[in-house]
Structure 1
Amino acid sequence: MYAFIRHGQTDWNLNDKLQGATDIPLNDTGRQQAVEAAAALAGGPWTAIVSSPLSRARETARIIAEQLGLELGPAYPELIERDYGPLEGAPSSANMAAYPKRDYPGAEPLADVVARGRAGLAKVAADYPDADVLIVCHGTLIRYTLADLAGRTVPGILNGSVSTFSLAGDVWTVDTINGSPLEAVVETGDETGDEHRAGIAG
């Protein structure tokens, strides 16, 4: 089994800024969200934890590892958040409204983000073939990678949330999104609202 965990909140999440590949640290709320994520994961089958190399993901992973008594595993550059280019640090909600297809000028194409996400998963699966692995990274990468695995739209990913999936042979199956069963997740069509509420961009 695998789980994506979105890092805890940062001040840029709080202040509605596109974060992307910019390395912004957790704030105190984000650290508490990491503790709460660990509590939700306690008692599960988890035997390993890895992350994106960005500090907000790495610290979230470190907190969860300490809480669960796991050794913190490596950071995978494939799991870095989408690069939003010149828009990083700009207001996220205004840009989401201006670019509803997420085709931000100068940003990394979403297809490339998904390809990186899948490549990262392949590396983790190869490195931990017999483990149940927690993977701490970022909202956009998690959302669009899981959407690609599931073959359907999924909502914005919340800070500190857990989304689970599994691998059988070479087939990935998504089980939960933000802690809710995939079949119970409603596709509202309100993507901008979903992303703004989730503070998705980073």
Structure 2
Amino acid sequence: MTLITLVRHGQTDWNLEGRIQGSTDIPLNDTGRAQAEEVAVRLAGTRFDHVYTSPLSRAVETAEIIAGALALPAPLTTAGMREHEFGEAEGMLWEQYVDRFRGKRDQVPGAETVQQLTDRALASLQRIDLAARRRSAPREESVLVATHGGVIRALLEHASGGTLPAPGESLGNGSVHRFAMDGGGIRLLDTVVV
């Protein structure tokens, strides 16, 4: 079994403005860096064998801050954990998005579907789980993955059979979500708000 701790990246200026980032590469702001440091404090004492990150700079910097604070190896990049590609909605304010597309993520031109996002994120986690089991069998391995709200939301929906997150629930920057994987299946262990 592999324990997987997903951390949502820290705040960016677009988060602060309420803009949809998607796969647009927006860096952390100073608040986001402080949030990553707070996550490291909250996770101190937790064993992690490896750190992974989405290739987007806001997740990379979050992972680097946490890894540095916890004296962990440098983060490894995993493309499958990048944010939901929102197509034409990227850069829009959330209000504009809801007004124009009625909040239907799967109907935005150029956007990937929620199922596509879920499938690629699960495939990425399955590769991480397989590598962990090869390295550590029979010992349980624990990994940290810096990723994005859309990815975490999709995985929460998948693991809970659609009951989580609650309608309208926001996944805050720096939030922590723990899952377990064992040969392909994923289950939610807990969510820690930071």
Structure 1 residue 146, shift from structure 2 partner:
2.1
Task: Identify the match of residue 61 of structure 1 among 54, 60, 63.
Answer: 63
Q: What SS does structure 2 have at the residue aligned with 1:96? A: helix
The superposition leaves residues 149-196 of structure 1 with CA deviations (integer Å, 9 ceiling, x where unpaired) of: 22123233210110001123443220113449xxxxxxxxxxxxxxxx
Q: What SS does structure 2 have at the residue aligned with 1:136? A: strand
| Amino acid of the structure 1 residue aligned with 2:104 | K
Runs of 4+ in 1 over 3 A off after TM superposition: none
Q: How does 1:102-181 map to 2 (within 5 A)?
A: 102-106=105-109, 107-129=111-133, 130-155=140-165, 156-179=170-193
Q: How does 1:29-48 map to 2 (within 5 A)?
A: 29-48=31-50
The number of residue pairs the alignment matches comes to 180
Q: How does 1:88-103 map to 2 (within 5 A)?
A: 88-96=90-98, 98-103=101-106
2:176, 2:193 within 8 Å by CA — same for their partners in 1?
A: yes
Q: Under a length normalisation based on structure 2, what TM-score does the superposition of the two structures give?
A: 0.86
The superposition leaves residues 41-69 of structure 1 with CA deviations (integer Å, 9 ceiling, x where unpaired) of: 11112221110010000000000000100
User: What residue number does 1:195 align with?
Assistant: none
- Whole-angstrom CA distance in 2 between matches of 1:74 and 1:18: 25
The superposition leaves residues 5-52 of structure 1 with CA deviations (integer Å, 9 ceiling, x where unpaired) of: 000000000011110000000000000000000111111122211100
The root-mean-square deviation of aligned C-alpha atoms, in Å, is 1.7
- Whole-angstrom CA distance in 2 between matches of 1:35 and 1:174: 24
1:157, 1:178 within 8 Å by CA — same for their partners in 2?
A: no
